[in-house]
Amino acid sequence: MKPLLIVLLLLLSPLANAVDAYQFSNPEQQAAYNSLVTELRCLVCQNQPIGDSNAELAADLRRQVYEMLQQGKSKADIQQFMTDRYGDFVLYNPPFKAKTGLLWLGPVAFLVVGLLTVFLFVRRKKTLAPVTENTEKLAAVRRLLTEKDTENLS
């Protein structure tokens, strides 16, 4: 009996993970819906699109996108509504503005600072290498001189 129950549960498990199944009257609306749910960020999960998120807010946003498409609104209208309501953070590819400049330029700035740090570190190591060789030679000469002095004194 247990193996039959396990098989039954395994067969029913994809249904437990089913996402909202919305029906559209034309393929353009379906394509716009699929595009929007992958381009809009879940505000709770923050690293998932609303189409992949199981959060209640993401489900509400998917429902809202569906209803707006049924009302005949365009993809641009829906994106504008979402950014007006939640800010540019809701978009995975926010437009370049003064507010989002850090999002676009931040990674480049970190890369430049990192490369500059590595460059200066390597350059400093190269300039310090001859100095340490000279100090080693000076130490050897001082040892020889002190040995000669101690031999002369005795």
Whole-number Å distance between alpha carbons of 40 and 105: 21
pTM listed for this prediction:
0.56
Question: End of a domain among 73, 95, 117?
Answer: 95
Q: What is the pLDDT of residue 101?
A: 79
pLDDT value at residue 18 = 46
Residue tagged 């394509």 (tokens): 31
95, 112, 139 - which closes a domain: 95
pLDDT in tens, 108-120: 999 999 999 999 9
Residue 78 · residue 67 · CB < 8 Å: no
Distance CA 119, CA 100 (A): 29
Which stretches of the chain are DSSP H helices?
2-16, 27-39, 56-70, 75-86, 101-153
Q: How many CA atoms lie within 13 A of 65 on its CB side?
A: 31
How far from each other are the two terminal CA atoms of the chain, in whole angstroms? 101
> The domain containing residue 105 runs over which residues?
96-154
Q: Are both 84 and 117 inside the same structural domain? A: no
Which of 95, 122, 143 finishes a domain? 95
Q: Which of 31-35, 86-90, 106-110, 130-134 has the lowest mean pLDDT?
A: 130-134
Alpha helices in 17-100 (DSSP H): 27-39, 56-70, 75-86
Shared domain for 23 and 90, answered yes or no, is: yes
> Which residues have CB under 8 Å from 76's CB, separation 6+?
none
Domain count, the chain: 2
